[in-house]
A and B are shown apart, each in its own frame.
Chain A
Amino acid sequence: MLLLAASVLLPIAGAAATSGESHQTTECSPERDLTVSVHTASSIASLKVNEIAGDIPDFADWRNGNVEFSTTYYNFEGAPAAYSFDIVVNGEYRGYILVSATRKNYPILEFSKGFAPDKCSELMTHSSEIAGKFAEKRGLNTGDAELLYLGATFYYAKFPLADSRGIKQDFIIIDLTAPSIVDESSTRLPVTGDEFLQQQQEKQKEISVLWEALDDQMKSPDLTISTKLVTGTSGYINGVPTYLWQLGCSPTASAMVLGYWDSHGYPNFPGEDPLIQELATAMGTTPEGSTWPWDIDDGIDEVCADHGYSSMDSSDDAWMTFDEVKSEVDAQRPFVLSLWGGGTSIGGDEPYGDHSVAYVGYHDYTEDWVSIHDTWDTQIHNIVYSDWLGAMATWVRP
Chain B
Amino acid sequence: MRFLENDRTGRVALVLLLIAVGAFGALLLLDLLTIGPGYPPPEALQKWYIPQPRYEYAENGSVVVNRTIEGDIVLLGDIKERCSSLFPDLSRYCSHAVYLDTVSSDRYLIVNWYFDDNADFLQAEEVLCSRLRSSGNVTSAELILPNKPDISPDEPITGLITVTKYESEASSGYFVAVEKPLSPEHSDYFIVYYGVLGPADLLDHTDALEELMLRSYSLRGARPLASCS
Contacts and interface: CB of A to CB of B under 8 A. Distances in A.
A8 interface: yes
A48 to B, nearest CB: 7
A354 B151 contact: no
Given A113-B102, A177-B98, A178-B80, A250 B63 contact: no
Interface in A349-398: 349-350, 352-356, 361, 363, 375-380
Contact of B76 (A3, A120, A378): A120
A8 B35 contact: no
A237 to B, nearest CB: 8
B9 interface: no
A1 B35 contact: no
Interface stretch (B52-60, B171-179, B205-213): B52-60
B4 interface: no
A168 to B, nearest CB: 27
B35 A355 contact: yes
Contacts of B217: 244
Nearest to A349: B43
A291 B60 contact: no
B37 interface: yes
Contact of A234 (B39, B41, B61): B61
Interface in A237-266: 237-238, 242, 244-250
A273 B77 contact: no
Nearest to B76: A177
Contacts of A117: 76-77
Nearest to A361: B57
Contact of B68 (A106, A114, A285): A114
A139 interface: no
A293 B33 contact: yes
A8 B65 contact: yes
A1 B43 contact: yes
B37 A288 contact: yes
A152 B55 CA distance: 11
Interface in B29-65: 30, 33-41, 43-44, 47-48, 52-65
Interface string A326-362: 0000000000001110000000011011111000010
B74 interface: yes
A112 interface: yes
Interface stretch (B10-18, B162-170, B182-190): B182-190
B58 A108 contact: yes
A6 interface: yes
Contacts of A296: 35
Contact of B55 (A8, A245, A270, A292): A8
A51 B152 CA distance: 32
Given A114-B74, A115-B102, A378-B53, A213 B39 contact: no
A356 B155 contact: no
Interface in B78-120: 78-81, 85, 98, 100, 102, 105, 107
A248 B184 CA distance: 12
A147 interface: no
B55 A48 contact: no
Contacts, number: 217
A113 B43 contact: no
B218 interface: yes
Interface stretch (A14-22, A52-60, A64-72, A193-201): A52-60
A146 interface: no
B27 to A, nearest CB: 12
Interface of B is mostly: loop
Interface residues of B, number: 57
Contacts of B55: 6, 8, 242, 378-380
B227 interface: no
A48 B100 contact: no
A363 B57 CA distance: 13
A152 B63 CA distance: 11
A114 B65 CA distance: 12
Nearest to A100: B62
B66 interface: yes
B64 A273 contact: no
B81 A291 contact: no
Nearest to A363: B61
Interface in A254-298: 270-274, 285-293, 296
B58 A155 contact: no
B52 A107 contact: no
Nearest to B34: A290
Contacts of B182: 245-246
Given A6-B55, A107-B62, A113-B102, A245 B39 contact: yes
Contact of B38 (A8, A236, A353): A353
Given A112-B74, A120-B76, 9 more contacts: A6-B63, A48-B60, A110-B67, A111-B65, A114-B68, A226-B59, A287-B184, A293-B35, A354-B34
9 nearest A-B pairs in the assembled complex, by CB-CB distance: A177-B77, A289-B37, A249-B38, A153-B78, A114-B74, A271-B151, A355-B38, A8-B63, A271-B150
10 contacts: A1-B43, A110-B64, A210-B61, A236-B57, A246-B218, A248-B36, A352-B38, A355-B35, A375-B38, A377-B44
Interface of A: 1, 3, 6-8, 48, 51-52, 55-56, 58, 106-115, 117, 120, 122-123, 152-155, 175-178, 180, 210, 213-214, 217, 226-228, 231, 234-238, 242, 244-250, 270-274, 285-293, 296, 338-340, 349-350, 352-356, 361, 363, 375-380
